[in-house]
Amino acid sequence: MQYNLVATAPMGLESIVAKEVQELGYETKVENGRIYYSGDKRAIVRSNLWLRCADRVKIVVAKFPAYTFEELFEKTKSIDWDKYLPEDANFPVDGRSHKSKLFSVSDCQSIVKKAIVEKMKKSYGVSGWLKETGARYRLEIIMLNDEATILLDTSGDGLHKRGYRAKQGTAPLKETMAAAMVKLTNWQGETPFYDLFCGSGTLLIEAAMIAQNMAPGINRKFDFEKWHWMPKNLIEEERNKAEELIDYDKELELYGSDIDPKMIATAENNAEEIGLLGMINFKQMSVYDFVAKKETGCIIANPPYGERIGEKEEVEKMYRFLGEALKGKEYWSLYLLTSHKKFEHLYGKKATKRRKLFNGSIECTYYQYWGKRI
């Protein structure tokens, strides 16, 4: 059976996620925050295991116009829900509505839920309540321009939850965004990698996983793994394939530093959780102690943005220092994410390329300074 699938992505990362889906062998259609493609059950497993920069992978169960609640109810009820949901399915229904006559999200949710219940009771010959004591099948009703889309979330927890980050900083960078920052540099482990503001170590861990070809979902579970129609042997087969593709012997130089010793301890714990502690060199150090000693190197960083009161002057001083530290280092690359509008002026050089990204709700620019290749 072929499913209509959609990988959701943060704004600005659609092209990266689309490329990841294409590399898995599927043709894509891209819309704002969504990458549509079709695939079988194996595609669901592989997408969840391998997509580094997507938020979730969902099945598009149905799409239809709905101008009245009655129309929404009847069209939802006409879907063959027994193809997706067992009799004991736990199926919460989330919802969103935009530019539609059916603007009440709570009403849309309850109507969709009621329609599914009615259909399932008929399909399974149940006269009383549905128990909902089984596996979770998270559904979503989206109303957009009077068109209803019903989605089934295959991932469960967001794909940024890799399973290694037990502890994090006060302003953590999502694993999916960290992976995107690394992928945008085309770094594959050939040069030393530095994060001078490493925090909980997310950028370094994601970089190591990319360089070693470690599937981002290899150490976590997904909702689809408990579904009655998903073959257990297929899941095991794809997990074994992913394990075999990891290049544990790849030699990497990874250096992480942070002024806060507590964050270094957190980063080390996170790296240890995924088996990368010995590969990443963590050190408690001020950015001002950094010296670009090697002939070539790559700095990828998500430093403080200076948005808090009293931080702006210190952050601007730090940006100037980076410009001085890398002046004349033509074989060094810098990739830095910040919301500070005057970064290039403070750094002292125009970026080779800029890209607008959103770190959570904060609009940022990813400044890319590409060094020469030796």
Q: Where are the alpha helices (DSSP H) in the chain?
A: 14-23, 41-50, 69-77, 105-124, 175-183, 202-211, 232-244, 261-273, 312-325, 343-347
First to last CA, the chain: 50
Separation of alpha carbons 35 and 47, rounded Å: 12
In degrees and rounded to multiples of 5, residue 223 shows phi and psi of -60, -40
- Give Cβ neighbours of residue 323 (< 8 Å, ≥ 6 apart): 346, 347, 348, 349
Separation of alpha carbons 230 and 45, rounded Å: 9
Average pLDDT over residues 16-26: 98
Separation of alpha carbons 140 and 151, rounded Å: 5
Q: Higher confidence at residue 15 or residue 171? A: 15
How confident is the model at residue 169, as a pLDDT? 58
Separation of alpha carbons 269 and 219, rounded Å: 16
How confident is the model at residue 306, as a pLDDT? 78
User: Strand, helix or coil at 64?
Assistant: strand
Is the pLDDT at 242 greater than 90? The verdict is yes
pLDDT band for position 235 (50/70/90)? very high
pLDDT band for position 311 (50/70/90)? confident
Separation of alpha carbons 88 and 223, rounded Å: 15
How confident is the model at residue 374, as a pLDDT? 82
Residue 10, CA atoms < 13 Å, CB-side half-sphere = 23
Closest to 297 measured CA to CA, from 343, 254, 346: 254
Is the pLDDT at 272 greater than 90? The verdict is yes
Q: Higher confidence at residue 307 or residue 276? A: 276
Average pLDDT over residues 242-263: 96
Instruction: Write the pLDDT tens digit of every residue in 138-160.
Output: 999 999 999 999 999 999 999 99
How confident is the model at residue 309, as a pLDDT? 61
Tokens standing for residue 132: 């909902």
Parallel/antiparallel/unpaired status of strands 193-195 and 297-301: parallel
CA-based max dimension of the chain: 77
Separation of alpha carbons 349 and 327, rounded Å: 9
Separation of alpha carbons 115 and 118, rounded Å: 5
Q: 258 near 252, Cβ under 8 Å? A: no
Instruction: Write the pLDDT tens digit of every residue in 179-214.
Output: 999 999 989 999 999 999 999 999 999 999 999 999
Mean pLDDT of the chain: 95
pLDDT band for position 168 (50/70/90)? low
Average pLDDT over residues 43-48: 98
Is the pLDDT at 167 greater than 70? The verdict is no
How confident is the model at residue 231, as a pLDDT? 98
Is the pLDDT at 352 greater than 90? The verdict is yes
Tokens standing for residue 41: 């059950």
